[in-house]
């Protein structure tokens, strides 16, 4: 039996907001994703979805609990090793595309590959292939300002998968789009995830989009429960 691609065990996180004002966001939260599985994370704003994603993606550390990616315990890694693991294993997508404005769509996908040691020719080929998969290959030479919101987000999807991560984490990836565009763009994301076989944890307020994933989990009083 294969090991979960992502396993969070007993994750707790408390923020201090002034004297005698502690806010416990996560309280012994557990969740696991199998390879190839898409899981929707649903909760109201402020419930801790972003915190959970940041801990899962090694951008933040929990006060207690363990983070495993691909069966490897990431909890005690130092900053350099965490950065290497994040670059190698994890792709991130946010509500806003955060593309570099001075670079073209293609270049935005090539740059993370170059930083990861991939040669330029290979990086260009992979970038074009990813853009073609989400239907925007003809926009490869356009800068973000010349792209529509839906096109910008599709390019952001491609950038997140540029280094062939094993785990994709997305925080409201279509939350900044109108309903029709959101549906189309999310369909492109589903196709991309299914074709690569990676595990994906996707935070969303959109229950219709959540229903298109393999299962739904919710954050409730700092714990992850079945949706």
In a domain, 120, yes or no: yes
pLDDT at 186: 84
Residue among 38, 40, 42 nearest 205 (CA): 42
In a domain, 1, yes or no: no
Give the ranges where the chain is alpha helix by DSSP (H): 49-56, 79-89, 105-115, 120-133, 149-160, 179-196, 207-210
Report the alpha-carbon angle 19-223-61, nearest 5. Answer: 60
In a domain, 205, yes or no: yes
Contact 130, 109 (CB under 8 A): yes
In a domain, 81, yes or no: no
How far apart are alpha carbons 141 and 146 in whole angstroms?
A: 10
In a domain, 220, yes or no: yes
> Mean pLDDT per 10-residue run, the chain (227 residues)?
87 80 87 93 84 93 93 88 89 87 97 92 95 91 94 92 92 82 82 86 88 92 87
In a domain, 221, yes or no: yes
pLDDT, tens digit, for every residue of 143-190?
999 999 889 988 999 999 999 999 999 998 887 778 888 888 888 888
- CATH code for the domain of 35: 3.40.50.300
pLDDT at 217: 95
How many independent structural domains does the chain possess?
1
pLDDT at 20: 65
pLDDT at 90: 93
pLDDT at 1: 55
In a domain, 72, yes or no: yes
HSE-up of 106 (CA within 13 Å, CB side)?
Answer: 16
Domain enclosing residue 211, as ranges = 6-48+65-76+86-226
In a domain, 115, yes or no: yes
| Mean pLDDT score across all residues of the chain | 89
C-alpha dist (Å) from residue 204 to 21, 34, 70, 187: 28, 19, 24, 14
């Amino acid at each position: 039996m294969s090991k979960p691609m992502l396993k969070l065990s007993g994750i707790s996180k408390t923020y201090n907001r002034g004297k005698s004002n502690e806010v416990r966001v996560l309280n012994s939260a557990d969740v696991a994703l199998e390879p190839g599985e898409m899981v929707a994370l649903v909760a109201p704003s402020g419930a801790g979805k972003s915190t959970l994603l940041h801990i899962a993606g090694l951008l933040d550390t929990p006060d207690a609990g363990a983070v495993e990616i691909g069966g490897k315990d990431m909890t005690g890694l130092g900053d350099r090793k965490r950065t290497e693991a994040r670059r190698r294993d994890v792709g991130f997508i946010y509500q806003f595309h955060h593309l570099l404005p001075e670079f073209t769509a293609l270049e935005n996908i090539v740059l993370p590959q170059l930083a990861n040691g991939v040669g330029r020719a290979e990086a260009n080929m992979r970038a074009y292939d990813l853009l073609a998969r989400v239907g925007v290959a003809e926009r490869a030479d356009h800068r973000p300002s010349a792209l529509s919101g839906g096109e910008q987000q599709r390019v952001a999807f491609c950038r997140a998968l540029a280094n062939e991560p094993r785990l994709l984490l997305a925080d409201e990836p279509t939350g900044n789009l109108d309903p029709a565009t959101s549906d189309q763009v999310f369909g492109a994301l589903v196709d991309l995830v299914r074709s690569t076989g990676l595990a994906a944890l996707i935070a969303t307020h959109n229950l219709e989009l959540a229903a298109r994933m393999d299962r739904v989990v919710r954050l409730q009083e700092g714990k992850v429960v079945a949706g």
